[in-house]
Amino acid sequence: MKKLALAVSILCLTATGVAAADDPIAVRKAIMQANAASAGLAGAMLKREIDYNPVIARAAILTLAASAKTFGDYFPDGSNDGDTTAAPAIWENAEGFQAALDKYVSDTAAAVEAAGKDGPADLPAFQAAIGPVFGNCKSCHETFRIQKN
């Protein structure tokens, strides 16, 4: 029975993933939700709301780096219509958006390298690694995201 439940769960998750892959807006939202969770956790450590943990810091960095590698694939022409906060500037200034994506990839790759195998050694090392990534996120959101009040 457990094997059947596991098989059904895997099938449902696979079907959900395939359906979502056909909807670039849904995929973008899912990626941004993962980024928001990672950024929230990182921010809580930076603000000392929770204790610093190098393993958690590394996980946050790895999540952001993983999104950087694929996020740009989910902005095809025509995906600006619908329930999205993607700004028209993404399609109007494709070169600028690509430059922002390239910087995001570069910043997150540098953060992964700085984090090392065991995560940043301490809070200042984590701040140095994640700071440029957060700066890139902020800049991109200011330019390429419709702000909701």
Percent of the chain with pLDDT over 90: 81
pLDDT band at 21 (very low <50, low <70, confident <90, very high): low
Sign of CA dihedral 107, 137, 55, 43: positive
**How many other CB atoms sit within 10 Å of the CB of residue 71?**
19
- Residue 11 confidence (pLDDT): 41
Domains of the chain: residue spans and CATH: 2-144 (1.20.120.10)
pLDDT band at 20 (very low <50, low <70, confident <90, very high): low
Radius of gyration of the chain (CA): 17
Dig out the tokens for 27 from the structure: 């995929």
pLDDT, mean over the chain: 87
Helix (H, G, I), strand (E, B) or coil at 88: coil
> Taking residues 69-82, what's their average pLDDT?
93
Please determine, for residue 50, whether its predicted confidence score (pLDDT) is greater than 70.
yes
> Taking residues 28-54, what's their average pLDDT?
96
Amino acid identity of residue 26, one-letter, is A
> By C-alpha distance, which of 129, 110, 113, 116 is closest to 45?
129
Please determine, for residue 57, whether its predicted confidence score (pLDDT) is greater than 70.
yes
